[in-house]
Structure 1
Amino acid sequence: MRLRNLATFIKVARLGSFHGAAQQLHASQPAISARIIALEEELGVKLFSRDKSGTRITAWGNQLLPYAEKLLAISQEMKAQVSQDKPQKGSLRIGIADTLAHLWLSSLLKHWQEEYPLISFELTSDVTPTLIRQLQNHQIDLALMVAEQSIPPNLVIDPLCSYPQCWVAIANHPLANNPVCSIEELAASPILSFPRDSRPWHFLQQYFSSLNEPPVIHTCSSVANLLTLVRQGVGIALLPKPLVEESLKNAELVTLQTQAEPPELAFCYSWRLDDDRVLPRLLADSSRAIMQFPASG
């Protein structure tokens, strides 16, 4: 089984287009079709169906896709480890959600420096919509970000980690002793949140949408500043639990109980489908491995 045919299959599956795959792989469309046909003949199944509405992956194709991605990733990692082409110099631009930066950036950068001492890392922190635009515009090479439901087809995306969220307030807040806080009670207090258009901000808009009088929501792009504002009693906040565990332990903050459990906040990593370098994938995989350990803010 030729890796080139698997790589072509992955491109077509991700883009949903033979023409798009041909453009990104710098090959003719008949060459792309020939690779897919060769793979289908080898496996004895149909991987795509094509009609006037476009190209759709079949059930067999969906079953093959994760295995093809694993095989290609292993092949790329092998090349990086044993060949002379392993990147030793240069720079890599990484965009990271501020929550992950607050919890993990020090550990990640120490590990990356040990593995790639001659690589310089250019780090930026922003919300997911901005990081996606930066990826597409070739302004960053890898994004560690809050997972979104809709991701452009020209980006590779894989799950990274997820954290439970909780409502928190300063210990002497009027709601601190409530057994359960209603939506109306939460809305009566100023609320602190992540920037507009972030996934947490959108969740709050939906959460309070049934109220006639929406709450006052102050946004902040810095997790450190957001935590300071909560600790100083400026407002309450819905935050990933690892960010506030230390403040909860020392009773600086308290958890506000609500009728419905807040959803977990999921994170993912992503890079461009047309980026054939091994390093972004290796860094992404190492990030996921490191983040399996307990996080601490």
Structure 2
Amino acid sequence: MRFTLNQLEAFVWTARLGTVHAAARQLHLTQPAISHRIRDLEEELSTQLFERHNQRLIVTDQGRNVLVYAERVIASAQEVARLDLTRTITGLVRVGVDESCAITGMPLILKDIKDTYPNLRVDLTVGGGSQLLQKINNHELDIALHTGQSSQPDVTSQFIGLTRHQWVAAPGLFPPDTDFLPEQAMGHRIVSNAPPSTLHDSVARWLVTDGYAFDEFSSCNSLSLMVSLVVSGHAIAMLPASITRKHVEAQTLQLLRAKPEVPDVPYYFSYLVHHRSDTTTRFLEIAERNLKAIGFFVNP
């Protein structure tokens, strides 16, 4: 037996109001649409639901039996529609993010999560891309926002955008509006994450285009500290644009015009495939919305 909620709704309102015309007005449908739904329901139930009497439709004895259950179904459907779905996402989700996302995006993302799903608890881990990739591969995280891409069969890495790495220096250290070459970079102290890391790989790939090996650098595991070192003139660095944007706009950092250009870096939303799909889907929606709002990704 296959009848629909729409058919039951047409039947219930016609029974309540006495005419197809009134039911159609109530449901914002045409009269033929109401008549068609009632006829299909009668065929499905193999019973006559109405008799016509003085321009009105009267529910038959069998129809009254059906009406009792149909009204219960409609009432249940209305209860479902009134459910507070924001409270159905509960429990704990273990989330890992890299530092660029943690600094620029996570305050907004966590506030959005708290406002939308107040019963969902977030256990946050901040680390480098390789560290987060290892943690989610080892099932120590449920979700990760990072530059890594897992090849594990039980981890899905979904591409969500491109991020940009930029060379920056203290203002006045290099002439403005001129190309910044690998040869010039090698003449200064470079601060970067230790390998394996996405930033270190980006610097190494850029330097090798001119035949230079990235062997000597000052290692630092904090993007915030790296920014401070560059602002103070102690070093130059390649850093995520999301981290340096405010400093460049405030002219406390000079954006260098790298030649060749630094390739954009893919950014991924990784998650354990066995984790609850509703939590994963809704967390991704919130993360993408907020990261796009702050300009975390390169505009397409």
Runs of 5+ consecutive residues of structure 1 not aligned to the other structure: 1-78
Q: Could you tell me how far 1:87 is from its partner in structure 2?
A: 4.3
| 1:103-156 residue CA offsets vs partner (Å, 9 max, x unmatched) | 1011000000011112221101112222122112221110011144x6323211
> What's the CA shift for 1:256?
1.5
| Counterpart-to-counterpart distance in 2, 1:164 and 1:89 | 34
Residue aligned with 1:94, SS: strand
Name the CA shift for 1:266/1:231 in 2 (closer, same or farther; >3 Å): same
Q: How many residues align?
A: 215
Residue number in structure 2 paired with 1:279: 279
Residue of structure 1 equivalent to 2:10: none
The Cα RMSD (Å) is 2.6
Change in 2 beyond 3 A, CA 1:105/1:185 = same
Q: Which residue of 1 aligns with 2:146?
A: 145
Which residue is 1:108 aligned to?
Answer: 109
Q: Give the TM-score, by structure 1 length.
A: 0.65
Q: Encode CA deviations 1:3-38: one digit per residue, 9 max, x unaligned.
A: xxxxxxxxxxxxxxxxxxxxxxxxxxxxxxxxxxxx
- Counterpart in the other structure of 1:200: 199
Aligned counterparts of 1:120 and 1:184: Cα–Cα separation in 2: 49
Does the Cα contact within 8 Å between 1:161 and 1:291 map onto a contact in 2? no
CA contact 2:133–2:148 (8 Å) conserved in 1: no
Partner secondary structure for residue 152 of structure 1 = coil
What corresponds to 1:131 in structure 2? Answer: 132
| Residues 168 and 272 (structure 1), Cα distance of their counterparts in 2 relative to 1, 3 Å cut | same
- For residues 108-187 of structure 1, the aligned pairs below 5 Å read 108-148=109-149, 151-173=151-173, 175-177=174-176, 179-187=178-186
- Aligned partner of 2:92 in structure 1 is 91
Q: Deviations over 1:32-87 (max 9, x none)?
A: xxxxxxxxxxxxxxxxxxxxxxxxxxxxxxxxxxxxxxxxxxxxxxx9x9698964
Shift of 1:213: 6.2
Q: Determine if contact 1:176/1:254 at 8 Å carries over to the other structure.
A: no
Would the alpha carbon gap of residues 256 and 204 (structure 1) be closer, same or farther in structure 2, given more than 3 Å must change? Answer: same
TM-score normalized by structure 2?
Answer: 0.64
- Please tell me whether the aligned partners of residues 102 and 223 of structure 1 are also in contact (alpha carbons under 8 angstroms): no
| Secondary structure of the structure 2 residue equivalent to 1:278 | helix
Query: What amino acid sits opposite 1:166 in the alignment?
Result: Q
Mapping of residues 61-100 of structure 1, within 5 Å: 87-100=88-101
